[in-house]
Amino acid sequence: MSRLRYDTAGESHGPMLTVLVNGVPAGLEIDTDFINAELRRRQGGYGRGGRQRIETDAVTFTAGVRRGVGTGAPIVMQIPNRDSRLDDLERTPPVHRPRPGHADLAGSVKWLTTDCRETLERASARETAARTAAGALARCLLREFDVEAFGFVRGMLDAVTDVEPAPGNLDTLFRARDASDVYCPDARVSAQMIEIIRRAKVDKDTVGGLAEVHVFGCPIGLGSCVNWTEKLDARLAGAVMGIQAFKSVEIGLGKDCAVRTGSQVHDPILYDASQQETASLGFVRPSNNAGGLEGGMTNGMPVVVRGTMKPISTLLRGMPSVDLNTRQPEHSAYERSDVCALSAASVVMENVVAFEIARAFLEKFGGDSMHEVQANYESFMDMARRLPLEPPMRDMRESPMESDQSEA
Ligand code: EPS
């Protein structure tokens, strides 16, 4: 049984993006329409540039899937680039004036070239289409266990929504988010964000902001407190920081923990037998400042992750830079770009967060086939609901057999 993981390949203006996903159990029913719907959502959002009018992202499966069902072998998905022109020197000329904020300068020096083109082609956020596809594929598995992710745009400059997703309002918020041109489930704040982006465009400037993901239905105990590399909060942070242009990640209350005392931060533990069949197993928390993670493990509350995206680094007005060939001061190069890609980034974040949850889910309940995963999940949930287990560990240690042996 392989560990769930993925790798992507492809340049922004190469022929296609490819993603190889390993460790998907045999028998997983793959909802291609759902994956493609996520890809379409990632292409949207007010503030996107001209590229999205050219592309119509959709996956083709070229390995590991038979008649819509995973075989257990590595799965390969491909997404063609319609704006493919990497070998055309006239349409993708060398770039010598690095853009502050982009990978241009560091990548060019790293690979010992003064042409930023090769770095920017791979560093481009075009690659996030492949990651979105991998995450959406993983969500086909999570959905079998009623685990659902909801991502949205929380804020941009001074326009910040105070909506709090919860199982009770999720349907309404899904609809509101999908009706918003900026993927913010708050019509008033959406309008403010659209105005901010419009103004940035007029000023030849760009904007970023806050994206947030809530994952509902995670069973208690995904991740681990045993080794730092297994802590789920650390892995989620890594996945979110790995998205192009993300500069910070928070779980739950995040940095606001610094301005509160312990009694104001930690979520009391209560027990409500009527909630025993839910992910919390009845261990309900009146608040969720921990963002569903304690000790690097899910605690039965929704997992809440927030990320900060910096403003897009390609500015129509340019920024002070230097020509890498002449070392003379120049304004940075302009490549066709977005004014704001935060809405798209919220879709990417929703899917990469879901991928990490699915990975942790399979570490706990994994098997070669979906039958095994289902059986492992149900058996664990059954034992967890029956705690304390009979016979308790202490009684086992003091069992007659052990005392007989010690006497002998
Ligand atoms: C990007 C620059 C733009 C964006 C691109 C990310 O590409 P282009 O130069 O082809 O217009 O459109 O994002 C995508 C193509 C996408 O699908 O998200 C960059 O420099 O990061």
* pLDDT digits (tens), the chain, 408 positions: 789 999 999 999 999 999 999 999 999 999 999 999 999 999 999 999 999 999 999 999 999 999 999 999 999 999 999 999 999 999 999 999 999 999 999 999 999 999 999 999 999 999 999 999 999 999 999 999 999 999 999 999 999 999 999 999 999 999 999 999 999 999 999 999 999 999 999 999 999 999 999 999 999 999 999 999 999 999 999 999 999 999 999 999 999 999 999 999 999 999 999 999 999 999 999 999 999 999 999 999 999 999 999 999 999 999 999 999 999 999 998 878 999 999 999 999 999 999 999 999 999 999 999 999 999 999 999 999 999 998 766 556 655 554 444 443
Let me know: does 97 contact 7? Beta carbons within 8 Å. no
Which amino acid is it at 35? I
- CB 321 near ligand 1, within 6 Å: no
- CB 85 near ligand 1, within 6 Å: no
How many C-beta atoms surround the C-beta of residue 153 within 10 A?
Answer: 31
Q: Which fold has domain 5-385?
A: Chorismate synthase, AroC fold (3.60.150)
Q: Ligand 1 centroid vs 57 CA: distance in angstroms?
A: 13
Distance from C-alpha of 138 to C-alpha of 352, rounded to nearest angstrom:
9
Residue 350: name the closest of 34, 73, 1, 13 by CA.
34
Torsions phi, psi for 241 (to 5 deg):
-65, -20
Q: Ligand 1 centroid vs 251 CA: distance in angstroms?
A: 28
Burial of 271-307, coded b for 16+ CB within 10 Å and e otherwise, reads eeeeeeebbbbebbbeebbbbbbbebbbbbbbbbbbb
Please state whether the peptide bond connecting residue 388 to the residue before it is cis, i.e. omega within 30 degrees of 0: yes
CA angle 393, 396, 399 (to 5 degrees): 160
Tell me the longest C-alpha to C-alpha distance in the chain: 89
Distance from C-alpha of 113 to C-alpha of 134, rounded to nearest angstrom:
32
Residue listed under structure tokens 């995450």: 135
Distance from C-alpha of 174 to C-alpha of 66, rounded to nearest angstrom:
32
Residue whose CB lies within 8 A of the most ligand 1 atoms, among 104, 244, 337, 347, for a mutation test: 337
- CB 81 near ligand 1, within 6 Å: no
Residue whose CB lies within 8 A of the most ligand 1 atoms, among 12, 55, 128, 246, for a mutation test: 12
Q: Which residues contact 261 (CB under 8 A, 6 or more apart)?
A: none
Sequence length of the chain is 408
- Give 65's strand partners: 70
Residue listed under structure tokens 């009623």: 146
Q: Ligand 1 centroid vs 38 CA: distance in angstroms?
A: 17
